[in-house]
Chains A and B, each alone.
Chain A
Amino acid sequence: MGHLYTTREKYAPEQLEEVKKKYTPPELVCCAGSREVIDREVVFVGIGVSDLAGAVAKLVHTPNVILVAEAGYIGFPSIAVLISPADNSAGVMAMCHQSLPEMFIDQQSGFVDVAYLGFAQMDKYGNVNVSYITGQQVKMNGSGGGGDTASSAGRVVYTVEFNPRQWVEKVDYITEPGFLDGSRDARKKANLVGGGPSAVATNRGVFRFSPETHELYLAEVFPWQDEEDIEEVRKSFPWDLKVAEGLKIMEPPTERELWALRLMDSTSNYILASVLDRPIGKIILAGRLNLEGYDEYLGMQEKAIREILESVS
């Protein structure tokens, strides 16, 4: 695994605040998530942040993983973040172009070792909602392939920005199965193929699931997360969140990880939350829907792809 650990003692206390400021939340999420796979594994990537983590894994830590995207692309080098699983950047230099049902058949047969997904709500046992927030009457995107992947991938790594509202006693709608009611062998009894969620990588630590109780606990934090910060994290949970006895301290994002991330997301789709703040939003707001605007935007993508292609080939 690409796990990188450190100790708090390596940093002078006054230094920590400064180190923390160097990184954005999506950078922390993607880099922490990228360290969750073992080389030569088959890795199912989602889109956006759930693809970036896999991309960084492939480019930096575990070069022999086989990335797969649900539209039917297998074994691509990862040359740009996937906004869709059908993106051309997954098709180029891929080992195999196949179909969507074949992708899920392969997953149901057990070929996919680990998958990256995101979520809006999660409960204590890793059951996930990406469909409906009933209180506010919000319809979200829905399962897509998430329900299938959480059912059948060997294990699932969730990559999300930490948000206190995402942790709930009971999700409004179970879109993706975690450990269901948390009972022993619940997944096996249900006849699910995959092993269920293994980690939740966030900008405020990595959470894992107890092998006995299947309950979510805090397993790893960044060096700047002191007792106070951890207490604040714990208070975001509607249940008494356990913290690992041997809480590990993660290395902050490395230069190499950040290099990969920036090239992958050359048009800041996942670094800037609002589309209007991104280069594309600025081009549109300036009314530059002309050839010059297209040249600028597509040129940014093309330049980043050239750089990645040079480094992987």
Chain B
Amino acid sequence: MATKELRTINYEERAKDADYKRKLNKVMTEKEAVETFLHDGDSFCIGGFVMWRQPESVFREMARQAKKNLSIIDESGTFEGIDLLVELGMLDRIDIAYAITRQVGGISGTPAVERGLKEGLPRPVEAGGVMATPKDKVKSDVTPLKIVDWTNFQVSLRFVAGAFNVPFMPCRSSFGTDIPRYNNDIREISDPYENKPLILIPACKPDVAFISVQRADQRGNGQIWGFKGTDYWKGRAAKHVVLLTEELVPTEKIYENAGLTVIPAYCTDAVVHLPFNGHPTGCFGCYTVDSINFIALLLERQSRDGALEWLDEWVYGCKNHFEYCDKVGWEKLDRLAKSEHKLSRIPG
């Protein structure tokens, strides 16, 4: 993987792709965006951070489109979304710092990953070079899902390096630990200036970044209110950027609070107007986390059968995100919005 992701920008290729970035109106549906930009074998990342402003709807759309051989690079993932793709065997590789397992109060936060590790189903797992599905449970023709460990800072630096268009970023995290020992993409060198140890984190330029924003215009200026996560860098490192916005506003509205614009139009390839795209995660200033839905779906997905039933109902049973919202119930979504608005509301 390293060679693929470490490539420097091919300007010819970027010029071709720039057709999307130069459009004045980039609005399309989620289905079109996933079809257009995410192909089998692609790598992608998502915006937001643990349970907040994470475009969960995009995972359901990927599942509906049955993409193959994907890889995701993420700090502290949207466990629910990643686990869904793992359940369907759609992921080849996960580069991640944190994925909740047993800390959701005695139930598994990533049941498909756990099943894969123990039983080889839906797919065998090779985790961090430390443990793997027992050999007798692995069929010879199946490539295991590979999980690679990083720290949060290191994953974010991969996008920083990608955005800088340099092959790596240095840092001083995790000297003396097993993370660089097992993760061969991390290098330790003696720095040429002070002759002291330094950790190098390779750049990442994912094929697509799906970033949820509170507000965007049709040209693709994305505004974020609250924590920024690593979205500034993801929006610049990725080859294609798809914004999923709670609110589609006229550019006039963007001018009013230009300081909130994290992703300027020249980064953006597509704008999808999709309220509640983060559900069951929350969106600062828009709606709070739907913990009831989150725990209920985890409970249902603890077993393989339960997970497949859940998929039939909530993924394949809905044509698109709006049908999903119908199914959740708009009055409940409004209740989540009301709860959030008691605390915070995007200014302007």
- Residue positions of A touching B, CB distance < 8 A: 48, 69-73, 83-92, 97-102, 104, 108, 127, 131-132, 134, 137-148, 151-152, 172-177, 180, 186-187, 190-193, 269, 272-276, 278, 280-281, 283-284, 289-291, 293-295, 297-298, 301-302, 305
Q: How far is the CA of A274 from the CA of B52 in the complex (A)?
A: 23
Contact flag A145-B336 (CB < 8 Å), given A72-B228, A140-B101, A291-B331: no
- Residues of chain A within 8 A of B128, CB atoms compared: 131-132, 139, 142, 173
Q: Which residue of A lies closest to B181 (CB)?
A: A174
Query: Can you list 9 A-B contacts with CB-CB less than 8 angstroms, sorted by A residue number?
Result: A83-B291, A88-B284, A104-B156, A139-B101, A144-B76, A148-B173, A191-B198, A289-B293, A291-B329
One of B76, B329, B339 near A298 (C-beta < 8 A): B339
- Residues of chain B within 8 A of A99, CB atoms compared: 227-233
- Residues of chain B within 8 A of A152, CB atoms compared: 172-173
- Taking a contact as CB atoms under 8 Å apart, the answer to whether A151 and B172 are in contact is yes
The count of chain B contact residues (Cβ–Cβ below 8 Å) is 79
Q: How far is the CB of A49 from chain B (nearest CB, A)?
A: 11
- Taking a contact as CB atoms under 8 Å apart, the answer to whether B175 and A85 are in contact is no
The total of interchain contacts (Cβ-Cβ below 8 angstroms) comes to 247
- Taking a contact as CB atoms under 8 Å apart, the answer to whether A174 and B178 are in contact is yes
Interface centre among B49, B104, B233, by most chain A C-beta atoms within 10 angstroms, is B49
- Residues of chain A within 8 A of B197, CB atoms compared: 190-191
- Taking a contact as CB atoms under 8 Å apart, the answer to whether B227 and A191 are in contact is no
**The 7 residue pairs across chains A and B that have the minimum distance between CB atoms:** A275-B105, A144-B98, A72-B227, A86-B52, A104-B153, A99-B228, A147-B151
Contact flag A151-B175 (CB < 8 Å), given A275-B105, A289-B292, A298-B336: yes
- Residues of chain A within 8 A of B157, CB atoms compared: 101
B184 within 8 A of A: no
Stretch touching chain A among B22-30, B112-120, B264-272: B112-120
- Taking a contact as CB atoms under 8 Å apart, the answer to whether A100 and B177 are in contact is no
Q: How far is the CA of A92 from the CA of B339 in the complex (A)?
A: 13
Q: How far is the CB of B49 from chain A (nearest CB, A)?
A: 4
- Residues of chain A within 8 A of B348, CB atoms compared: none
**Residues 97-153 of B contacting A (Cβ, < 8 Å):** 97-107, 113-114, 117-118, 127-128, 130-131, 147, 149-153
